[in-house]
A and B are shown apart, each in its own frame.
Chain A
Amino acid sequence: MSKGARAGLVMVAFAAAIGIILFGVFGYLRSSPPVVSAVPSATQPNTVNVTMQVDGAVGVGPHPTWVGYWIQGANGQYKQTTLLKVPVNTYVHVKLYEYDSGGPLRNPYWGKEIGTAGNVIVVNGQPVSLVNSYAGNGVAHNFDVPGLGVNVALPGVNGNAKNFCNVGPCNPSEAHNLIQFTFYSGKTVHNYRWQCFIPCGLGYLTGNGGPMQSLGYMAGFVQVVK
């Protein structure tokens, strides 16, 4: 092989290597679930409304059996995501449709509603400040944002309900609890992580693998922005 041909070959190889690296970074590693932005209306500058649902099984994508959150976008469509963007210094009114059955918490402490307005949540019209996960329908999931001091325990629906939803996004004709609460987004611009405490990563040791450790299922960020 001539020197020129060898030089060409080397340059092609370098270009290919750079191409593979760029593809790996931007095509795969940088991918993340979509972000849903909550925007205040003109009449009420310091409040936003967010509608979410949490499903027993998202039913779609690479892990259809995993539990997961959906957040309603501006056009009313649910997106399977756990990334929520809200403005600073804002009261976030959350309306959450909970379609999953419940169970016991590994630490019953997290049955307490903390950091919401009045330290209560409203479940199907009834105020609730503490859920005993060892009784009744237990706790289905948590919406726990440590950085904002928020822990919301979401009571589960009856495990023997007839019309369970198994493929998300679910619709209100299926068994669910309607849960409403308000939390304050604080004064600091920050990405606040949130998680769940119910061992809902079924099939994983202590129920904390799989969806519990994956963005877009049971782990996410509340992005507080200017």
Chain B
Amino acid sequence: MAIDMSQSTGVGQSGGAGGSSAARWFARGNIFTATLFGAGGWFFGHWWGNVIAGHYTSVQNSGTNDVSWLLGAIFAVVAWFIGLGALNHPIAKLWGGEAPMAEKKQKYSIMEYFSYSTDHKVVGIQYLFAMLMYFFVAGLLALGIRTELLSPTYHIWGPDTYIEIVGEHGTMMMMMMTSIIMGPFGNFLVPLMIGSKRMAFPRLEAASFWFTVPAFFFLLSALWQGGFQSGWTGYAPLSIQGGVGQDAYLFSFTLMALSMLAASTNMVATIINYRAPGMRWSRLSVLTWGMITTAFTMILSVPVLIDGLYVMGMDRAVQTSMLYGQHGGSPFLWENLFWFFGHPEVYLLALPGFAITTEILPVFARKPVFALKTSIAGMIGVATLSFFVWQHHLFNSGMNPDMRPLFMLSTELISIPTGFLYLVGMGTVWRGRLRFNVPMLFMLAVFFNFLWGGITGVYNSDVPVDALIHGSFFVMAHFHFTIMGQLMFAVFGAIYYYTPLFFGIKLSEKLGKIHFWTMFVAFNSTFLPLFIVGWLGQPRRVFEYAARLQTLNQWVSISAYVLGLSLAFFVVTFIWQLVVTRPKSEPNPWDSRGLEWQVGIPVPKDNFDRIPVILSSPYEYGNPNAGPMADLSPTVASVGSDA
């Protein structure tokens, strides 16, 4: 393997205290300078857009100017990155200089978490908090939806506000879910798991995080600009008809798409090229496998979303008429472009959840991963098939009726590799010695929850049954089980599991169990009745429904409040333990064999003093003859023998 063993000569390590890292934090760029620059960019772009397009008929009649909104946003983001100092390096390169990256440190000041850091451990923690911010804000919006649905006729929100809240909740969640594993856990853990001191493209990695921040605020800003009526799916022509809130939707989604591209490019390059000697593909951890399959899926599907959003932006701003009729366009184009991204997307939400579940399960079952190759084949199979199923969202659209049996088949086929997760999980716990720590409880809940989501997925793929449940609360309950029930439970399990590594603290088992049980019961109590509600005929995204469904809806709403309280309990206890009590963790509290746990707590600034030599699989639990997973201080001879 062509591994650069002397990584200390790589980018960023040679600079030492020289270059920009010596400057004070305010000169290097940070969130304050970035905000200042971004605001300036917004006003400039907005002004310019008014100069260009202020006389358009559509602008004069409607009183809203999409051109100036989009120009303002583009300039704001470019200026934001300049303010962060993202361009210091390329500009220095253009002038023939070399601006080295800031040196990694053992302990960072708080301010450095608010700057354009190129340390993968800092980026991981930045991502963790940012994605949780997305999750909790979008979760509050969900409580807003449930409050409206307490009554079939009385309205808490105006109908326009209600649709805005629904769309905002969906879009924010879908944007966040794409990155909630790859962002925090992928960035933090992949170099540790493959035995590398760094990521392949640290600047790309930093950029991937800093796209998510303006994406969040632009998306949220839609709420006070009239919102967007089209939901997260943004179907044209409704999305062309909306006000500037729709521009916020397409622009923030584009930023998130760019973030996904940057993050996945970095992930693929790192995993392929930065594995330590002896880290054969067969010894790669399942999480790393999950990251590389997810990253490939993103690289292939996300550009289609960016194209679609660009087309939507053009249609809205300068009436290019590609997504609506009368001038040659077609609303079917958006449906196809969107779901060609959207369907791989929902699987690339599920894959990291599978991966992290399979990663953590053996540690608490005290057994190797059962049928490891099957679990990897399953992930690759899901990723591949995910590109051939998108029209199952369009079974009622009138498009391609003769293709329906094919898309029904491809959709049902995907349940074979998805089922591998159960084969692997059930095999792994067979005759294990299960330890029911908080992370393990979350992993077991993943299997329970995803079973509902997976089985009802078969109902959705069956065209005659889909005729009944398409667009109803049944579908909505289905994907909340697969995404929240699977991915978010995996994320919370991973947070409990990895806090010792991330922060050097071990969260209380007792508080964690209270959080787990309330969340698990409230989650199922919220979403199981919604299958029935949809089956009985309640469409999604409505603010009025049949009076006979009121009891079920109230049950769901009250369960949703309990779920909200459970998550609030997590926030309070998590922040309290993190900031105030700080219960110190021992170095490897879960007796994991994984390489990431062998480096000690806190993780050294370069992860490894010397590039380790990998000797065996990370999952050899119960093997009396298993040696350590890696030699952390290899001699020249030991490298030669295995590499």
**Do A and B touch (CB < 8 Å)?**
yes
A residues with a Cβ closer than 8 A to B are 3, 6-7, 9-10, 13-14, 21, 25, 28-30, 32, 63-66, 190-191, 193, 201-206, 208-210, 213-215, 219, 221
Q: Is the CB of B576 within 8 A of A66?
A: no
Q: Which residues of A contact B241 (CB under 8 A)?
A: 204-206, 208-209
Whether a CB of chain A sits under 8 angstroms from the CB of B52 is no
Contact of A6 with B62 at beta-carbon distance under 8 Å, contacts A29-B144, A29-B157, A215-B160 already known: no
Instruction: Please list 24 pairs of residues, one from A and one from B, whose beta carbons are closer than 8 Å in the complex, sorted by A's number.
Output: A6-B580, A7-B576, A9-B579, A10-B579, A10-B580, A21-B140, A25-B144, A28-B224, A32-B158, A64-B63, A66-B63, A191-B153, A191-B154, A193-B159, A201-B62, A203-B60, A204-B58, A205-B237, A208-B241, A209-B243, A210-B62, A210-B64, A214-B160, A219-B160
Q: Which residues of B contact A9 (CB under 8 A)?
A: 579
Q: Is the CB of B63 within 8 A of A65?
A: yes
Whether a CB of chain A sits under 8 angstroms from the CB of B324 is yes
Name the interface residues of B151-175: CB closer than 8 Å to any CB of A: 153-161, 165
Other than A29-B157, A201-B62, A203-B61, give 16 A-B pairs with Cβ distance below 8 A.
Answer: A3-B581, A9-B579, A10-B576, A28-B223, A28-B224, A29-B165, A30-B156, A63-B63, A65-B60, A204-B58, A204-B243, A205-B237, A206-B241, A210-B64, A213-B242, A221-B155
Instruction: Give the shortest distance, in Å, between A76 (CB) and chain B (any CB).
Output: 27
Q: Which residues of A contact B229 (CB under 8 A)?
A: 213
Q: Which residues of A contact B427 (CB under 8 A)?
A: none
Bound CA–CA A66/B243 (angstroms): 13
Instruction: Give the shortest distance, in Å, between B154 (CB) and chain A (any CB).
Output: 7
Q: Which residues of B contact A29 (CB under 8 A)?
A: 144, 157, 161, 165, 223
Instruction: Give the shortest distance, in Å, between A177 (CB) and chain B (any CB).
Output: 23
Q: Is the CB of B580 within 8 A of A7?
A: yes
Instruction: Give the shortest distance, in Å, between B491 (CB) and chain A (any CB).
Output: 21
Bound CA–CA A144/B153 (angstroms): 19
Whether a CB of chain A sits under 8 angstroms from the CB of B505 is no
Whether a CB of chain A sits under 8 angstroms from the CB of B6 is no
Q: Which residues of B contact A205 (CB under 8 A)?
A: 237, 240-241, 324
Q: Mark B204-244, 1 if CB is under 8 A from A, else 0.
A: 00000000000000000001101001000000010011110
A66 (CB) vs chain B CBs: closest residue: B63
Bound CA–CA A202/B241 (angstroms): 11
B155 (CB) vs chain A CBs: closest residue: A191
Contact of A202 with B154 at beta-carbon distance under 8 Å, contacts A28-B224, A214-B160 already known: no
Instruction: Give the shortest distance, in Å, between A2 (CB) and chain B (any CB).
Output: 10
Bound CA–CA A14/B580 (angstroms): 13
Q: Mark B48-63, 1 if CB is under 8 A from A, else 0.
A: 0000000001111111
Q: Mark B509-536, 1 if CB is under 8 A from A, else 0.
A: 0000000000000000000000000000
Bound CA–CA A194/B570 (angstroms): 43
Bound CA–CA A97/B3 (angstroms): 81
B residues with a Cβ closer than 8 A to A are 57-64, 140, 144, 153-161, 165, 223-224, 226, 229, 237, 240-243, 324, 572, 575-576, 579-581
Bound CA–CA A15/B572 (angstroms): 12
Instruction: Give the shortest distance, in Å, between A65 (CB) and chain B (any CB).
Output: 4
Bound CA–CA A190/B154 (angstroms): 8
Instruction: Give the shortest distance, in Å, between A95 (CB) and chain B (any CB).
Output: 26
Of the candidates A10, A202, A213, the one having the most CB atoms from chain B within 10 angstroms of its own CB is: A213
Q: Is the CB of B62 within 8 A of A10?
A: no
Q: Which residues of A contact B579 (CB under 8 A)?
A: 6, 9-10
Interface residues of A: mostly helix, strand, loop or mixed? mixed
Instruction: Give the shortest distance, in Å, between B318 (CB) and chain A (any CB).
Output: 13
Bound CA–CA A72/B214 (angstroms): 44
Q: Which residues of A contact B153 (CB under 8 A)?
A: 190-191
Bound CA–CA A203/B62 (angstroms): 5
Q: Is the CB of B58 within 8 A of A203?
A: yes
A5 (CB) vs chain B CBs: closest residue: B580
Q: Is the CB of A215 within 8 A of B159?
A: yes
Contact of A202 among B62, B223, B324, B580 (CB under 8 A): B62
Bound CA–CA A9/B575 (angstroms): 11
Q: Is the CB of A219 within 8 A of B243?
A: no
Q: Which residues of A contact B165 (CB under 8 A)?
A: 29
Instruction: Give the shortest distance, in Å, between A200 (CB) and chain B (any CB).
Output: 10
The 8 A-B pairs of least Cβ separation, nearest first, read A203-B62, A203-B61, A202-B61, A203-B58, A65-B63, A209-B241, A205-B241, A215-B158
Contact of A3 with B160 at beta-carbon distance under 8 Å, contacts A65-B61, A191-B153, A205-B237 already known: no
B220 (CB) vs chain A CBs: closest residue: A24
Instruction: Give the shortest distance, in Å, between B494 (CB) and chain A (any CB).
Output: 23
Instruction: Give the shortest distance, in Å, between A30 (CB) and chain B (any CB).
Output: 7
Q: Which residues of B contact A6 (CB under 8 A)?
A: 579-580
Contact of A209 with B160 at beta-carbon distance under 8 Å, contacts A29-B165, A191-B155 already known: no
A211 (CB) vs chain B CBs: closest residue: B62
Instruction: Give the shortest distance, in Å, between A199 (CB) and chain B (any CB).
Output: 10
B156 (CB) vs chain A CBs: closest residue: A30
Q: Which residues of A contact B157 (CB under 8 A)?
A: 29-30
Q: Which residues of B contact A214 (CB under 8 A)?
A: 160, 226
Bound CA–CA A202/B57 (angstroms): 9
B147 (CB) vs chain A CBs: closest residue: A25
Contact of A209 with B159 at beta-carbon distance under 8 Å, contacts A10-B576, A191-B154 already known: no
B163 (CB) vs chain A CBs: closest residue: A213
Q: Which residues of A contact B224 (CB under 8 A)?
A: 28
Q: Which residues of A contact B160 (CB under 8 A)?
A: 213-215, 219
Q: Which residues of B contact A65 (CB under 8 A)?
A: 60-63
Contact of B57 among A63, A190, A203, A209 (CB under 8 A): A203
Q: Which residues of A contact B572 (CB under 8 A)?
A: 14
Q: Is the CB of A209 within 8 A of B62?
A: yes
Instruction: Give the shortest distance, in Å, between B585 (CB) and chain A (any CB).
Output: 18
Q: Which residues of A contact B61 (CB under 8 A)?
A: 65, 202-203
Bound CA–CA A49/B144 (angstroms): 36
B164 (CB) vs chain A CBs: closest residue: A29
Bound CA–CA A104/B62 (angstroms): 19
Instruction: Give the shortest distance, in Å, between B158 (CB) and chain A (any CB).
Output: 5
Q: Which residues of A contact B240 (CB under 8 A)?
A: 205
Bound CA–CA A209/B161 (angstroms): 15
Bound CA–CA A201/B58 (angstroms): 10
Instruction: Give the shortest distance, in Å, between B27 (CB) and chain A (any CB).
Output: 26
